[in-house]
């Protein structure tokens, strides 16, 4: 990592990073009557609708990162059946949840639509976007095909978009290029049963065993996740490894600070030409995010997601739990009234400064250690699966762990206070603690 910003921070930003819509050549817009229009001339779009323009350009990045836009939900006509009303309510609820970023709940509502109406085009559309975002590429492809099979003429613009998305998935499967829209990055494809890997061709030239080493690290990350979380993604995970320069070329525009990796449905990581423990820890960390999002359908609660990833990365380096100096640093934050409530960290770490971000990772790690001491891997698998049903976080935590967010927060703080009863703690600053976070 070039900076002191934890890379885990990057996963958060990747979600909200706007795609670069320049050179998009076709726009979709929806008028006040809910009718969808397609144009290649943005100037022809009424001013009021212009801010809602949906770039449908040829750039692959914008194909998938334009948010969860899709066909408008049509109100049922008079005399509609109970099933039609239910489908309408579920679809509208899903679209509203997507707007709020509640992807897990939206996903379960859309699945419920398909149980009543297996050929519902809108449900297939949104599930394709959600699955792609979860790294379930084959499932996304299936939903796009089902969408095309059932979408009528009124959805023609979305059909065209679905065709382009299918082609993009095929490209990804062919592994001919990264999802970077620019740069002469040449990638080498590598298939293994559990991973679809591409790596920067330059990486393979320095170390003859580069590919085997990467596959071994990834399999170790997978075995570790299975051991700790009791579950792994149902489809092979896509991984792209870059030399530093190529990574910056492809992804610098996404972040406002230096990063070495992120997950956006595929793992993107910077690799040294001679991979070692640093890459292994990075892969353990990012793979945990892949498992979390695939199972839970979102990245939230963020403290749980980051705590699990952080622990995985540490365990890959045989570092168990938090060091004494890190626990003391947390004690000092409690004393100083600077403890960040886990509740505040649930939606993301955005808006935290450098030092707060470091503290957020430590607190998240402490909270997950507390949970891990009280749950089996099977219970943790259940935790992720229940989050994936869209049940509220606190209800899931209470059901599986026995305490809600505040309860866990309080328990973690009292454990730290109990360990260091004296308030006259050491005075080293937090940033002087043991090691950088990945």
Given the complex with Zn ion, which of 151 and 311 has the nearer CB atom? 311
Q: Which two tokens stand for residue 249?
A: 């070329």
- Positions in 385-424 near Zn ion (CB under 5 A): none
Backbone angles phi, psi at 42, to 5 degrees: -55, -25
Among the listed ranges 5-13, 170-178, 199-207, 245-253, the one in contact with Zn ion (CB under 5 A) is: 5-13
Cα separation of 321 and 112, whole Å? Answer: 40
Given the complex with Zn ion, which of 8 and 203 has the nearer CB atom? 8
Given the complex with Zn ion, which of 125 and 361 has the nearer CB atom? 361
Please name every residue paired with 39 in a beta bridge, in sequence order, or none if there are none.
27
Per CB under 5 A, 123 contacts Zn ion: no
> With contact defined as beta carbons under 8 Å apart, do 416 and 330 qualify?
yes
Per CB under 5 A, 130 contacts Zn ion: no
Q: Please give the residue whose beta carbon sits closest to Zn ion in the complex.
A: 8
**Can you point out the beta strands (E) in 36-139?**
36-39, 54-55
Enumerate long-range contacts of 397-401, CB under 8 Å, 24 or more apart.
Answer: 400/375, 401/371, 401/374, 401/375
Given the complex with Zn ion, which of 63 and 312 has the nearer CB atom? 312
Given the complex with Zn ion, which of 212 and 436 has the nearer CB atom? 436
**Dihedral angle computed from the Cα positions of residues 269, 270, 274 and 275, in that order, rounded to the nearest 10 degrees:** -30
C-beta of 185: minimal distance to Zn ion in Å?
A: 24
C-beta of 289: minimal distance to Zn ion in Å?
A: 5
b/e sequence 184-212, b meaning 16+ C-beta within 10 Å: ebebbebebebbbbbbbeebbeeeeebbe
Cα separation of 283 and 438, whole Å? Answer: 10
Among the listed ranges 41-49, 309-317, 329-337, 399-407, the one in contact with Zn ion (CB under 5 A) is: 309-317
Cα separation of 369 and 382, whole Å? Answer: 17
Relative to beta strand 27-30, strand 36-39 is antiparallel
Please name every residue paired with 38 in a beta bridge, in sequence order, or none if there are none.
28
What does the per-residue mask of binding to Zn ion show for 10-29, with x meaning CB under 5 A?
-x------------------
C-beta of 302: minimal distance to Zn ion in Å?
A: 9
Per CB under 5 A, 368 contacts Zn ion: no
C-beta of 252: minimal distance to Zn ion in Å?
A: 19
Per CB under 5 A, 8 contacts Zn ion: yes
Q: Which two tokens stand for residue 413?
A: 């703080």
Q: Which two tokens stand for residue 404?
A: 């809600």
- CA-nearest of 111, 72, 109 to 89 is 109
Q: How many residues bind Zn ion (CB under 5 A)?
A: 3
Given the complex with Zn ion, which of 110 and 312 has the nearer CB atom? 312
C-beta of 357: minimal distance to Zn ion in Å?
A: 11
- CA-nearest of 62, 286, 293 to 179 is 62
Residue position matching structure tokens 């793992």: 267
What does the per-residue mask of binding to Zn ion show for 259-298, with x meaning CB under 5 A?
----------------------------------------
Given the complex with Zn ion, which of 112 and 260 has the nearer CB atom? 260
Given the complex with Zn ion, which of 7 and 190 has the nearer CB atom? 7
Given the complex with Zn ion, which of 165 and 285 has the nearer CB atom? 285
Helix, strand, coil abundance in the chain, percent, nearest 5: 55, 10, 35
C-beta of 260: minimal distance to Zn ion in Å?
A: 11
C-beta of 213: minimal distance to Zn ion in Å?
A: 22
C-beta of 219: minimal distance to Zn ion in Å?
A: 20
Among the listed ranges 94-102, 157-165, 306-314, 388-396, the one in contact with Zn ion (CB under 5 A) is: 306-314
C-beta of 414: minimal distance to Zn ion in Å?
A: 27
Given the complex with Zn ion, which of 98 and 290 has the nearer CB atom? 290
C-beta of 54: minimal distance to Zn ion in Å?
A: 30
Among the listed ranges 72-80, 190-198, 303-311, 340-348, the one in contact with Zn ion (CB under 5 A) is: 303-311
> With contact defined as beta carbons under 8 Å apart, do 22 and 9 qualify?
no
Distances (CA, A) of 115 to 90, 96, 108: 11, 20, 11
Given the complex with Zn ion, which of 232 and 304 has the nearer CB atom? 304
Residue position matching structure tokens 């749950």: 375
3-state secondary structure 113-142: HHHHCCCCHHHHHHHHHHHHHHCCHHHHHH
Per CB under 5 A, 309 contacts Zn ion: yes
C-beta of 402: minimal distance to Zn ion in Å?
A: 26
- CA-nearest of 341, 339, 342 to 329 is 339
C-beta of 286: minimal distance to Zn ion in Å?
A: 7
Given the complex with Zn ion, which of 69 and 293 has the nearer CB atom? 293
Q: Return residues touching Zn ion (CB under 5 A).
A: 8, 11, 309
């Amino acid at each position: 990592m070039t900076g002191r910003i934890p890379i885990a921070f990057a996963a958060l930003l990747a979600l909200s990073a706007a795609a670069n819509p320049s050179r998009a050549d076709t726009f979709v817009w929806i008028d006040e009557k809910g009718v969808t229009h397609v144009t290649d001339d943005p100037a022809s779009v009424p001013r009021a609708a212009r801010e809602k323009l949906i770039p449908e350009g040829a750039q692959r990045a914008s194909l998938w990162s334009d948010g969860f836009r899709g066909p408008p939900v049509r109100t049922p006509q008079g005399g509609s059946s109970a099933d039609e009303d239910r489908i309408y309510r579920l679809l509208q609820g899903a679209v509203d949840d997507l707007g709020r970023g509640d992807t897990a709940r939206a996903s379960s509502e859309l699945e419920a639509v398909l149980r009543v109406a297996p050929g519902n085009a809108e449900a297939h559309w949104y599930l394709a976007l959600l699955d792609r975002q979860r790294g379930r590429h084959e499932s996304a492809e299936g939903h796009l095909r089902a969408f095309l099979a059932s979408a009528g003429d009124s959805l023609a613009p979305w059909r065209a978009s679905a065709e382009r998305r299918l082609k993009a998935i095929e490209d990804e499967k062919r592994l001919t290029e990264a999802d970077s829209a620019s740069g002469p990055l040449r990638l080498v494809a590598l298939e293994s049963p559990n991973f679809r890997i591409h790596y920067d061709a330059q990486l393979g030239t320095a170390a003859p065993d580069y590919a085997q080493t990467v596959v071994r690290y990834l399999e170790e990350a997978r075995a570790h996740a299975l051991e700790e979380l009791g579950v792994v993604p149902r489809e092979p995970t896509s991984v792209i490894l870059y030399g530093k320069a190529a990574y910056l070329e492809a992804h610098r525009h996404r972040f406002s600070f230096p990063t070495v990796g992120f997950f956006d449905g595929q793992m993107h990581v910077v690799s040294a030409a001679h991979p070692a423990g640093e890459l292994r820890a990075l892969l353990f960390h990012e793979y945990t995010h892949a498992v979390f999002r695939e199972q839970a359908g979102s990245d939230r609660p963020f403290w749980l997601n980051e705590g699990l990833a952080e622990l995985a990365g540490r365990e890959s380096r045989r570092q168990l739990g938090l060091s004494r100096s890190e626990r003391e640093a947390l004690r000092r934050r409690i004393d100083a009234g600077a403890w960040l409530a886990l509740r505040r960290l649930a939606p993301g770490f955005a808006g935290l400064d450098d030092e707060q971000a470091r503290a957020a990772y430590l607190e998240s790690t402490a909270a997950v250690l507390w949970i891990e001491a009280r749950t089996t891997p099977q219970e943790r698998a259940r935790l992720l699966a229940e989050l994936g049903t869209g049940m509220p976080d606190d209800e899931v935590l209470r059901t599986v762990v026995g305490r809600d967010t505040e309860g866990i927060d309080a328990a973690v703080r009292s454990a730290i206070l109990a360990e260091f009863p004296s308030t006259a703690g050491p005075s080293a600053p937090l940033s002087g603690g043991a090691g950088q976070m990945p």
